[in-house]
Structure 1
Amino acid sequence: MKKIYQIKALVLALMVAMLGTACKTEKVLPQKEALKDISGSWQVIKATRNGTELTSIIDFSAFKINFKDGGYTLENKMPFLVEQDGAFALDDPEYPYKITFTASGKTPVSTAFTYPIVNGKRQLSLTFSPGCTNNSYVYVLQKTN
């Protein structure tokens, strides 16, 4: 009978030891997200106003936004958040949700900002209301270079 208790105690000790090693906590170090680099020339590939598709009725092919060294330039201007060249800033370089444009001598203007990869290509999506708050534009841009 004593032998049965010894075997049960041994089995119990082995189970506790196995459970103790199986539930070992592993420390996972957070991965650093790459900074979002929007430098380069971007062209509108899709535009909507109040949900209505504009790219089929307006030629956006000449309109470009060039980002370089914290500044931006506009080519062949279209309705946009700002009318002049200036500086830009992202609210967070790793996880940006907002981009702020500061045209030369003007008040800074911010807008919603997403930076998805679609079909293997990086895109920018900007949502804004230039002037009239009843009109909401969404420009989807793709890098041209």
Structure 2
Amino acid sequence: MEKSTNYYNTFIEVAEDCLLTKAEIPIERGNKKTVATIQFYKIKENPYLYSSDDIVFDIYVSKNAVESDDIEKEKALFFSKGQPCLRCSPLPKRYGWGIHYNVEGKIAIYAIESDEYSKLKVDAELKHLKAMRSSRK
């Protein structure tokens, strides 16, 4: 049975322990793309095109150099186990980006200081979740 990371009609707010009041764009470490940079550019440049499952699996493929011939088999195996959802993403945990899932489960990100973020944060039509905290209290 496939275990999805998708949400629908949901807004993931920035984590309570994120100290930023203005979102930051994640940067690469050395010449290597980080999880945050891959997620940021894929979502920011393609709002409402990808689902959480698409993004999470894309990171796995990038980090593990999965061959294109093996994609479907790897995807089935990958989602046969539970995977962390985007509440664990560095974007809302560390960098100040809220994640909005539309009714189809497609996602876009919004900076914490933006008008769009403020509107989504108070939208009663959406399910609201906080990103996971970075530290334990």
Q: Please say whether Structure 1 and Structure 2 have the same fold, judged by a TM-score greater than 0.5.
A: no
The structure whose RCO (Cα within 8 Å, separation 6+) is larger is 2
**What is the TM-score normalised by the length of structure 1?**
0.25
More strand by share: 1
